[in-house]
Amino acid sequence: MIDIKYDLEDIKNKRKTIKKLLFERSINIKADNFSKIEDNDLYILFELYDKIFLFSWFKENFKGKIILKLSKQLSRAAGNTKTSKCIAEMKPEEIKFEIKISLNHLINFNKVDRIKYVGGIEAASVLDGLMLIFEHEICHVIEFLIYHKSSCSKKNFKNLIYNIFGHVESTHKLIGVKEANMSIFGMRPGDNVKFMAEGRTYNGFIQKINTRATVMCFDERGRYIDEFGRRLTKFYVPLESLMKDD
Ligand SMILES: [Zn+2]
């Protein structure tokens, strides 16, 4: 597998073939922009990648197990590959990988209108995004099998993913939860906001935005004290419950 090298035209054509076969086989994914996906689609995708890019190496040689999962927990990383720390000492049939793909990144894909990249390659659709993330994670599996460790910031990984999939970067510029939320609700850290909780209105400012906003509110009984000696309480508030307060 380490010797595989495709040129960029080849890679494009192989991706096209994979899409075509995926649309035939998946009951959820029938077009580039899909709105439903389940774990089973990842298994179909893996089989297709193995066949089209890797000469069915996994099907014919790999004795271990690969678990593929869509994850709602990943918020920063678009994908993640894990295996046992002692992979070097394991029997082939004991080796197990778990690849997680972030559902949030797929859901958020079209929420912000800008060009998105994965691995330095433009992802024009949510399926492009998914496939490029998947390619990155497949390279982690291959690197783990060859070197018993894997790091996408190091040279081995960069060579591998460039040769097989043409990626020139090991990061992605997809839409994270934070960017999607900020763009939809038009809120940024530092903004003054108000919200209702337990029948009263709280006034404060946004300290941080993730899936929810961290809001600091002035409150005589608060545990936090700012540089002026004012007391504050910290709240985690869903963005849709916040109102701007100017
Ligand atoms: Zn990585």
Question: Does the structure show a pLDDT above 70 at 110?
Answer: yes
CATH number for the domain spanning 219: value is 2.30.30
What is the CB-side half-sphere exposure of residue 30 using CA atoms within 13 A?
Answer: 4
Residue span of the structural domain in which 15 resides: 8-176
Residues 146-163: pLDDT tens digits? 999 999 889 999 999 999
For residue 167, the CA-to-ligand 1 centroid distance in Å is 12
> Within this chain, do residues 194 and 114 fall inside the same structural domain, yes or no?
no
> Within this chain, do residues 50 and 148 fall inside the same structural domain, yes or no?
yes
For residue 57, the CA-to-ligand 1 centroid distance in Å is 21
In a domain, 59, yes or no: yes
For residue 213, the CA-to-ligand 1 centroid distance in Å is 28
Across 22-36, 45-59, 62-76, 200-214, least confident range: 200-214
For residue 170, the CA-to-ligand 1 centroid distance in Å is 7
Please give the structure tokens belonging to residue 118. Answer: 């994965």
Residues 196-243: pLDDT tens digits? 888 888 999 998 888 788 999 988 888 888 888 888 999 999 887 888
Rounded-to-integer distance, Cα 39 and Cα 153, Å:
28
In a domain, 39, yes or no: yes
pLDDT at residue number 220: 87
Question: Does the structure show a pLDDT above 90 at 76?
Answer: no
Rounded-to-integer distance, Cα 68 and Cα 80, Å:
10
DSSP letters for the chain? -TT----HHHHHHHHHHHHHHHHHH-SS--SSS-S---HHHHHHHHHHHHHHHSTTHHHHH--SEEEEEEESS-SS-SEEEEE-TTGGGS-GGG-EEEEEEEHHHHHHTTTS-S-EEETTEEE-SHHHHHHHHHHHHHHHHHHHHHHS---TTSHHHHHHHHHHH----S-EE---HHHHHHHHHT--TT-EEEEEETTEEEEEEEEEESSEEEEEEE-TT-SEE-TTS-EEEEEEEEGGG-EE--
Q: What are phi and psi of 149, to 5 degrees?
A: -155, 165
For residue 240, the CA-to-ligand 1 centroid distance in Å is 32
> Within this chain, do residues 71 and 125 fall inside the same structural domain, yes or no?
yes
> Within this chain, do residues 172 and 190 fall inside the same structural domain, yes or no?
no
Report yes or no: 226 and 233 within 8 Å, Cβ to Cβ.
no
For residue 76, the CA-to-ligand 1 centroid distance in Å is 12
Please give the structure tokens belonging to residue 70. Answer: 């869509």
Q: What percent of the chain has pLDDT over 90?
A: 60
pLDDT at residue number 205: 92
pLDDT at residue number 180: 77
Q: Which residues contact 139 (CB under 8 A, 6 or more apart)?
A: 152, 157, 160, 161, 164, 165
For residue 187, the CA-to-ligand 1 centroid distance in Å is 30
- Where is pLDDT greater, at 229 or 142? 142
pLDDT at residue number 212: 85
Residues 17-35: pLDDT tens digits? 999 999 999 999 999 999 8
Question: Does the structure show a pLDDT above 70 at 1?
Answer: no
| Mean pLDDT, rounded, of the chain | 90
For residue 95, the CA-to-ligand 1 centroid distance in Å is 19
Rounded-to-integer distance, Cα 196 and Cα 138, Å:
46
For residue 162, the CA-to-ligand 1 centroid distance in Å is 13
Neighbours of ion ligand 1 (CB under 5 A): 152
For residue 218, the CA-to-ligand 1 centroid distance in Å is 41
For residue 119, the CA-to-ligand 1 centroid distance in Å is 10
Taking residues 93-114, what's their average pLDDT? 90
For residue 137, the CA-to-ligand 1 centroid distance in Å is 7
Question: Does the structure show a pLDDT above 80 at 138?
Answer: yes
End position of a domain, from candidates 140, 156, 176 = 176
* Residue keyed to tokens 């054509």: 13
Domain tally, the chain: 2
> Within this chain, do residues 111 and 86 fall inside the same structural domain, yes or no?
yes
- The model carries a pTM of 0.76
Which one, of 140, 129, 132, lies nearest residue 1 by Cα?
A: 140
